[in-house]
Amino acid sequence: MQLNTGEDSAESYLWSHCAMNFPNSLIESLCAAKKIVALTGAGISAESGLATFRDAQTGLWSKFKPEELATADAFQRDPKFVQDWYAWRRENALKAEPNAGHLVIAEMEKRAPEFLLVTQNVDGLHGRAGSRRMVELHGNIHRFRCFDNDCTSANFDVENGRCRSCGGNLRPDVVWFGEMLPADALEKATAAAETCDVFFSIGTSSIVYPAADLWRRAKNCGAIVIEINKDPTPLTPLADYSFLGKSGEILPALMAAVGSAMEKRHN
């Protein structure tokens, strides 16, 4: 694990060379936080065996870029092809189990006075880990809707990818590039980011908007921004604390450090 505190100080050098040690300032901020927001991306599910969005895909789909399949244009050109890709991903998501990162986030929700999970993930693993105070910004791969007529009856033949009401194609209920995010989810996420004390950005490349703008809104409104990600992102040099490593390892260690600091305070 490497820590970048955004300052080129002796302290930041020291912390970056201490495995799983956290600055006191960070632990104190977390102990005192009244409202925490955690934004997650595909990286948090990587340790559950699911490919991230910008990782190379495996097997059958290795020749295709996800960015080129997750669009309305791709679906219009070849609905069956895109439906098959989503069916494969759905199956992988159902076979996968939530990992330590998902579980710590579900636990944070129970312990923080106010907490909101904002996820870009469509795999449903946060819900299966027990998260309830959550908005799914990019939808959910396990739900469907009618592509051709947006039929509201939800009378769907999922196996054959057809809407029974109009005979149209079924698409996953996710947000593709160029599509609007669900307004209520985005409003809730934005309001929470603008009023939180601590904003976590976990397992996301921080390049897809409007989700990639939430940390900036939080910071502009005075929140401490903490990034946990395997690789550097555009947020890394600007975050208050940035941990480069696996969320399934860093999150449990961080929560253990906060837990023991809280215990000391009460004794």
User: Which segments within 131-217 are labelled E, that is strand?
Assistant: 134-136, 139-146, 156-157, 162-163, 170-174, 198-202
Buried b (16+ CB within 10 A) or exposed e, 177-191: eeeebbeebbebbbe
Answer yes or no whether residue 253 interacts with ligand BJW by CB under 6 A: no
Residues 6-35 that bind ligand BJW (CB under 6 A): none
Residue in 5, 201, 205, 242 binding ligand BJW, rule: CB under 6 A: 205
Q: Smallest distance from the beta carbon of 156 to ligand BJW, in angstroms? A: 18
Residues 133-152 that bind ligand BJW (CB under 6 A): 138
Residues 84-123 that bind ligand BJW (CB under 6 A): 120, 122
Q: Smallest distance from the beta carbon of 145 to ligand BJW, in angstroms? A: 13
- Pairing type for strands 162-163 and 224-229 reads unpaired
Q: Comparing C-alpha atoms, which of 211, 255, 252, 215 is closest to residue 237?
A: 215
Distance CA 201, CA 257 (A): 19
Residues in the chain: 267
Answer yes or no whether residue 209 interacts with ligand BJW by CB under 6 A: yes
Query: Which CB, 43 or 127, lies closer to ligand BJW?
Result: 43
Distance CA 173, CA 115 (A): 25
Answer yes or no whether residue 126 interacts with ligand BJW by CB under 6 A: no
Binding residues for ligand BJW, total number by CB under 6 A:
34
252 preceded by cis ω (within 30°)? no
Residues 163-202 that bind ligand BJW (CB under 6 A): 174-181
- Specify the DSSP class assigned to residue 38: E
Answer yes or no whether residue 230 interacts with ligand BJW by CB under 6 A: yes
Catalytic status, residue 17: no
Selected catalytic residue, list 126, 138, 142, 266: 138
Q: Smallest distance from the beta carbon of 267 to ligand BJW, in angstroms? A: 33
Answer yes or no whether residue 208 interacts with ligand BJW by CB under 6 A: yes
Residues 62-81 that bind ligand BJW (CB under 6 A): 70
Chain residue at closest Cβ approach to ligand BJW: 43
Torsion of CA 105, 107, 108, 111, to 10 degrees: 170
Answer yes or no whether residue 56 interacts with ligand BJW by CB under 6 A: no
**At how many degrees (to 10) do helices 247-266 and 100-111 cross?**
30
Q: Comparing C-alpha atoms, which of 198, 193, 205 is closest to residue 235?
A: 205
Residue in 207, 222, 234, 259 binding ligand BJW, rule: CB under 6 A: 207
* Contact positions vs ligand BJW (CB under 6 A): 41-43, 46-47, 52-54, 70, 120, 122, 138, 174-181, 203-205, 207-210, 229-231, 233, 246-248
Catalytic residues: 138
